[in-house]
Structure 1
Amino acid sequence: MLYQTLARPVLFRIGRGDAEAAHDTTLRWLSRVSTQRQIRNALIKVNRVNAPVEVCGIRFPNPIGLAAGMDKKGLAIGAWPALGFGFAELGTVTGQAQPGNPQPRMYRLRKSGAIINRMGFNNDGAQALAARLTAAPPVDCPLGISIGKSKAVPIEQAVPDYLHSLRTLYPFADYFAVNVSSPNTPGLRQLQDSSALRELLGAIRAEGDRIAAGRPRRPVFVKIAPDLTESAIAQLLEVCLETGVAGVIATNTTLGRDRVDPSEDAIAAEPGGLSGRPLTEVSREIVRFVHTETGGRLPIIGSGGIMTPDDAASMFDAGASLVQIYSGLIYGGPSVVRGSVRRYKKFAKQRAKAAAHPPSRPSPTT
């Protein structure tokens, strides 16, 4: 309530004409929290709800994480567990530093509970992130790192660009997310096609084997777009299973505008990826499809439209092993994180009870 009545109005006024300004202000505030261990530890005690889960060999304090896009440059890594998150995904980071697309490039649709962005992977590059993580104090939760293609790199040379980021950041990541689904880098979504994806993921697996040198490789997740058809998703999943990918992140932002409040059509006309409430049902059903299609063989990180604790619970019910929040944090604050963990604990307890006491089947007729 403090966030919604005090902090959010201030941030929204800062970003009245430019939502990115509010985003940058928030990161500056949180970067200070990140460097103050006593403050950080105090906030962890207040905000974190423990609900340990293990996915792909990684132990998470709870299954609610920060989605990529909020902290591309790793400026506030210590602040995310202080806000209650059980893990945080940094990036998307690219092999080369790049400024991203021209501003303005971020818009709020408040009635729709949504955000449009066309940031374009604005970041300092893999080497700069590695240096920042080298100097950072230990983080109180697992870190994922999302890697993407540098805009200046032709699509035909994407593989070496991804591998450069993988090599540079391998010591710092608990897992990697391969972003081939952002709508804001020209040509990037071509890498979701079967042949291109098979080449990329095969190269990433081989490089991971080489770097790990017999030790367990860092798990690799593939982030998919919500705009793919079910047949295209099914083909993508086949490639993931063939190449030994650890799991899938579903989903990235959408180019669709179907569920936007009609009064915000003018803002919705801005190009870019849409996140927030309009994605809630879409992402959940894609998670359900992925879970069904793979028979649960691929762990899923559910992302997109998690605005309330009930949204998180529905995502787990659809088959997600972990859930990520971005727009829900902006609109609802840390209470959405805490509430989602508590809701997960209730869901897990109910699921365990149902598994222990399955409904009895009627006796066959004689």
Structure 2
Amino acid sequence: MSVFYQILFRSALRHLDAETIHHVGFTALRAATAVPGVAPAMQRLLGPGEPELTVHALGREFPGPLGLAAGFDKNAEGPQGLAALGFGFVEIGTVTAHPQTGNPKPRLFRLVQDRAILNRMGFNNEGSALVAERLYHMQGPRPLLGVNIGRTKVTPEEEAPADYALSAHRLAEYADYMVVNVSSPNTPGLRDLQSVEQLRPLLRSVREALAGAGYAELPLLVKIAPDLADEDIDAVADLALSENLAGIIAANTTISREGLDTDPDAVAELGAGGLSGAPLKERSLEVLRRLRERVGDRLTLVAVGGIETADDAWARIRAGATLVQGYTGLIYGGPLWPRRLHRGLAQLVRSAGYRSVAEAVGADVDGTAPKEPAPAH
């Protein structure tokens, strides 16, 4: 299946519009898993079944540490189907308080030479009211669900706290954890909200909304950009501790174009947007290590950015990540990618002499690693 997907990708999919293929593939997955019995069968076959992979975090039990990052299912149209691919959890969104169409098309591009994706989607979504209604009507077993919320583009910066709070209030009852996204490069001014002066009142507004909805204890995380200066990463980490957040997701897409193999003129022609995938690997790991050194085990760190293999996920876990996420890895790895990664990760856990993946969290940063495992393939 993996070889077949690679042949299909290189011969056909890579030459077609990326957003169109995304919709076609996602529609097909939803149709298949809507057939009675298909999703549970897929879950049994592809799900993370190894006991070493069970993770207790954010007050929940995750069957495996690999989840699907926000951006794939913006409107909660198919989290059950995505979980059936073998993800331990699914993060929907980014959802905004009001519906918006996002930026003009084309706005999603593949940089195949770099195993990367460039997007300037612009938080295209149906709005938190409709997404909440869809989640309310969801039938059958629910996967562990993260809800990622962002600012509506037309909302002035000074009204951002109320904008986030409205989405938080609407979606709280359907979330296993909630993420405040202040790090997408595709909404003008959004990244300015990462400054402590603006982030603190925003987080407090979301907290008040969660409490008002009866979910004061819902785990709240913030997602940050890899392009933050080191001192700003430290400031956000300190803020997360002082505001009693549950964790930090590191990191979102980057606006950097350094070190790409794709022709610079071709990249420039694609225009603005955030870059995800392999080029983000090194910086996202640096950010993660810095966060672990700053906060230790007081926060749950979720690693995302450039995770392609079990070895990549293992490096993030040993650097301090309790959970990891992927998106671009799925696009280039195909539908069996989550299962391959989880299996490889279980092998690495056993090879390193750990009883569970949780025992390895932060081992490289904290200096508690028992030994170095052989690479997984």
TM > 0.5 between the two?
yes
Aligned twin of 1:190: 192
What are the residue-to-residue correspondences of 1:249-264 with 2, within 5 Å?
A: 249-263=249-263
User: 1:131, CA displacement in angstroms?
Assistant: 1.2
User: 1:77, CA displacement in angstroms?
Assistant: 1.3
Q: Partner amino acid for 2:63? A: P
What are the residue-to-residue correspondences of 1:166-315 with 2, within 5 Å?
A: 166-212=168-214, 217-263=217-263, 265-267=265-267, 269=269, 270-315=271-316
User: 1:69, CA displacement in angstroms?
Assistant: 0.3
- Is 2:349 the partner of 1:330? no
Distance of aligned partners of 1:283 and 1:168 in 2 relative to their CA distance in 1, 3 Å threshold:
same
**TM-score, with normalisation over the residues of structure 2?**
0.89
Aligned twin of 1:21: 20
- 1:27-50 per-residue CA deviation (whole Å, 9 max, x = no partner) reads 111221342241111111211122
Q: Which moved more, 1:148-157 or 1:3-12?
A: 3-12
Distance of aligned partners of 1:56 and 1:120 in 2 relative to their CA distance in 1, 3 Å threshold:
same
Q: Aligned partners of 1:351, 1:294: CA distance in 2, in Å?
A: 26
What are the residue-to-residue correspondences of 1:12-51 with 2, within 5 Å?
A: 13=12, 16-50=15-49, 51=53
User: 3-state DSSP class of the match of 1:321?
Assistant: strand
- 1:216-261 per-residue CA deviation (whole Å, 9 max, x = no partner) reads 6110110000000110100111111111110000000000011211
- 1:178-206 per-residue CA deviation (whole Å, 9 max, x = no partner) reads 10000000000010001100101112222
Q: Partner amino acid for 1:328? A: G
Contact 2:207 2:216 in 1 (8 A): no
Runs of 4 or more, structure 1, over 4 Å off, are none
Contact 2:183 2:190 in 1 (8 A): yes
Q: Aligned partners of 2:100, 2:369: CA distance in 1, in Å?
A: 54
Q: Partner amino acid for 1:223? A: K
Distance of aligned partners of 1:264 and 1:5 in 2 relative to their CA distance in 1, 3 Å threshold:
farther
- Is 2:57 the partner of 1:55? yes
Q: Aligned partners of 2:297, 2:345: CA distance in 1, in Å?
A: 19
User: 1:328, CA displacement in angstroms?
Assistant: 0.2
User: 3-state DSSP class of the match of 2:86?
Assistant: coil
Q: Aligned partners of 1:130, 1:305: CA distance in 2, in Å?
A: 31
User: 3-state DSSP class of the match of 1:144?
Assistant: strand
Q: Which moved more, 1:50-59 or 1:62-71?
A: 50-59
Contact 2:316 2:324 in 1 (8 A): yes
Q: Aligned partners of 2:260, 2:308: CA distance in 1, in Å?
A: 15
Contact 1:250 1:303 in 2 (8 A): yes
Aligned twin of 1:341: 342
User: 1:11, CA displacement in angstroms?
Assistant: 9.1
Contact 2:183 2:225 in 1 (8 A): yes
Q: Number of aligned residue pairs: give it.
A: 355
Q: Aligned partners of 2:265, 2:67: CA distance in 1, in Å?
A: 31
- Is 2:155 the partner of 1:153? yes
- Is 2:137 the partner of 1:135? yes
Extract unaligned runs of 5+ from structure 1. Answer: 360-366
Contact 2:254 2:280 in 1 (8 A): yes
Aligned twin of 1:362: none
- 1:17-76 per-residue CA deviation (whole Å, 9 max, x = no partner) reads 521111111111122134224111111121112221110111111111000000101111
User: 3-state DSSP class of the match of 1:22?
Assistant: helix
Q: Aligned partners of 1:343, 1:316: CA distance in 2, in Å?
A: 13
Aligned twin of 1:5: 4
Among all aligned residue pairs of Structure 1 and Structure 2, give the percentage whose two residues are the same amino acid.
41
- Is 2:75 the partner of 1:73? yes
Aligned twin of 1:364: none
User: 1:347, CA displacement in angstroms?
Assistant: 4.0
Aligned twin of 2:373: none
Distance of aligned partners of 1:123 and 1:358 in 2 relative to their CA distance in 1, 3 Å threshold:
closer
Contact 1:70 1:90 in 2 (8 A): yes
Contact 2:210 2:216 in 1 (8 A): no
Distance of aligned partners of 1:279 and 1:98 in 2 relative to their CA distance in 1, 3 Å threshold:
same
Distance of aligned partners of 1:80 and 1:217 in 2 relative to their CA distance in 1, 3 Å threshold:
same
Contact 1:106 1:119 in 2 (8 A): yes
**TM-score, with normalisation over the residues of structure 1?**
0.91
User: 3-state DSSP class of the match of 2:92?
Assistant: strand
User: 1:81, CA displacement in angstroms?
Assistant: 1.7
Q: Partner amino acid for 1:98? A: Q
Q: Aligned partners of 2:73, 2:311: CA distance in 1, in Å?
A: 25
Q: Aligned partners of 1:351, 1:275: CA distance in 2, in Å?
A: 32
User: 1:297, CA displacement in angstroms?
Assistant: 1.3
Extract unaligned runs of 5+ from structure 2. Answer: 361-367, 371-377
